[in-house]
Amino acid sequence: MHTDPRLAALNRRAFFSRTSAGLGAAALASLQTKDASAMNGVASTGGLSKLPHHQPKARRAIYLFMSGAPSQMDMWDPKPEMVDWYDKDLPDSIRQGQRLTTMTSGQSRFPIAPSIYNFSPHGAAGTMVSELIPNMAKKVDGIALIRSMYTEAINHDPAITYICTGDQLPGKASLGSWLSYGLGTENENLPAFMVMTASWTGRKQAQALYNRLWGSGFLPSKYQGVSLRSRGDKVLYLSNPKGVDAKVRRRMLDSLARLNQQTAEQIGDPETNARIAQYEMAFRMQTSVPELADISDEPQHVLDLYGPEVIQPGSFANTCLMARRMAERGVRFTQIFHRGWDQHAGIPKDLPNQCRDVDQPSAGLLTDLRQRGMLDDTLVVWGGEFGRTVYCQGALSKTSYGRDHHPKCFSIWMAGGGVQGGVVHGETDEFSYNIVKDPVHVRDLNATILHLMGIDHERFSYPFKGLDQRLTGVEQSRVVSEILA
């Protein structure tokens, strides 16, 4: 049977992309537009013409992600009553048959391990904060502390995937990709979404991080996060090979773009146009990234805000400074992953190191943004994927203890664009085991972030596999209005 070659070229993906209901039609059109963004007066490239849905409070966001799950009752959620419960079993009435990990489900006992760290009041409201984070303690009047976060995921990878992409299963688009897709970028020479993985000084055995956490999933690949490295080339494969100068690279890209354009016209796959855009972005980044990474122009008083490790490439302090520089240059969403928080044992040894890594740099970032007049329209989020148990995993002593995973309550904080400072939202029971007031699901957190960026999460979707995919999924989610300014 003879097949018309014109029909052969029209594969299934091309057919759908060429029809009025094509999955990539709206996205592809948005890539070729420039929007003056009348709502905030800042020119943006790309993005959807119908966004923002409402006046945004934040133009950009920085997410400080503590991978491994910080211990909330040792840092942000004090439970002084637990001192009298030392080495007593967690009551069944509190545990309520909740799911446990296999790391502690076989324990014959669940002995209470009170925090050994002192808490003291800070700020106008006297918010109790641990001695482990003295610099952030001074910032409580400028942050909204949420003590009632929760999730269904009890293991690291599905929990991190959940909070980063809105689903425990891999394959969905990440928060930064959604923002890049919807709002575009304010700098054509840098990606809208950039990612850094910081070094850490706590427990060296850390959970792996997969690039799908900042991937674009079903969205066009140009919206995925670009990882900035601390060693060698800041971005992989960005430098020209030996013997290839900028003029040769420019001619090569022009020729390649013509070939790709022919392919796009023949096949109609929006990924071809995305690839053309990525090649052009990479060419511009050969100049913009070295300038971004060169902190020699930073005055000493600014470096001092972040602490002595700020000049060490890849340190959390250095990545926080880099995040501010990205924000200045119009990067829409920056995410820093700091690993080493998975303290199943040896909390008194490892947790102080982790806190020293992040305490001054986090506070310094807030100060730096405020001094530059940027904090009012920059959203900063700090937190992990779940919390930790009040009972001890393994051997318990007065000087050493560990904690298992606990998804039913944990603490995060938010600051900056549209967030009310000095707020403590939510409450847990005396064991920091169950939420007793104002629960906030991870979907609610993402809905709130989108809201602050000017997006209604219920109206923000992308068609894929017959569904209108949303970051917050199909289950009910709400904006945490109680923490909004």
pLDDT, tens digit, 9 for 90 and up, residues 307-356: 999 999 999 999 999 999 999 999 999 999 999 999 999 999 999 999 99
Residue 33's pLDDT band, with cuts at 50, 70 and 90, is very low
Q: Is the pLDDT of residue 246 over 90?
A: no
The average pLDDT across 470-479 equals: 96
pLDDT, tens digit, 9 for 90 and up, residues 406-453: 999 999 999 999 999 999 999 999 999 999 999 999 999 999 999 999
Residues 50 and 367 sit within 8 Å (Cβ to Cβ): no
CB atoms inside a 10 Å sphere around CB 317: 26
Residues in the chain: 485
Beta bridge partners of 88: none
| pLDDT for res 164 | 98
| pLDDT for res 25 | 35
The CA distance from 132 to 72, in Å, is 12
Quote the distance between the C-alpha of residue 267 and its chain's center: 35
Assign residue 387 a region (left: φ > 0; alpha: ψ between -120 and 50; beta: otherwise). beta
The average pLDDT across 19-45 equals: 45
HEC string of 405-466 equals EECCCEEEEEEECCECCCEEECEECCCCCCEEECCEEHHHHHHHHHHHCCCCCCCCCEEECC
Nearest to 434 by CA among 149, 155, 78, 159: 149
The CA distance from 187 to 332, in Å, is 9
Burial of 107 (0-12, 13-18, 19+ CB in 10 A): middle
Residues 346 and 204 sit within 8 Å (Cβ to Cβ): no
Q: How far is CA 445 from CA 375, 456, 461, in A?
A: 19, 13, 17
The CA distance from 378 to 357, in Å, is 22
What tokens does 111 get? 């002995």
Q: How far is CA 92 from CA 64, 97, 98, 153, 484, in A?
A: 35, 7, 10, 21, 37
Q: Is the pLDDT of residue 21 over 50?
A: no
pLDDT, tens digit, 9 for 90 and up, residues 267-287: 777 777 766 766 666 656 676
Pairing of strands 60-66, 333-338: parallel
| pLDDT for res 43 | 63
Q: Can you give the pTM of this predicted structure?
A: 0.86
pLDDT, tens digit, 9 for 90 and up, residues 347-369: 999 999 999 999 999 999 999 99
> Taking CA 447 as the corner, what is the angle to CA 441 and CA 452, rounded to the nearest 5 degrees?
130
The CA distance from 184 to 168, in Å, is 26
Residue 16's pLDDT band, with cuts at 50, 70 and 90, is very low
The CA distance from 340 to 484, in Å, is 31
> Taking CA 126 as the corner, what is the angle to CA 121 and CA 131, rounded to the nearest 5 degrees?
25
The CA distance from 315 to 357, in Å, is 8
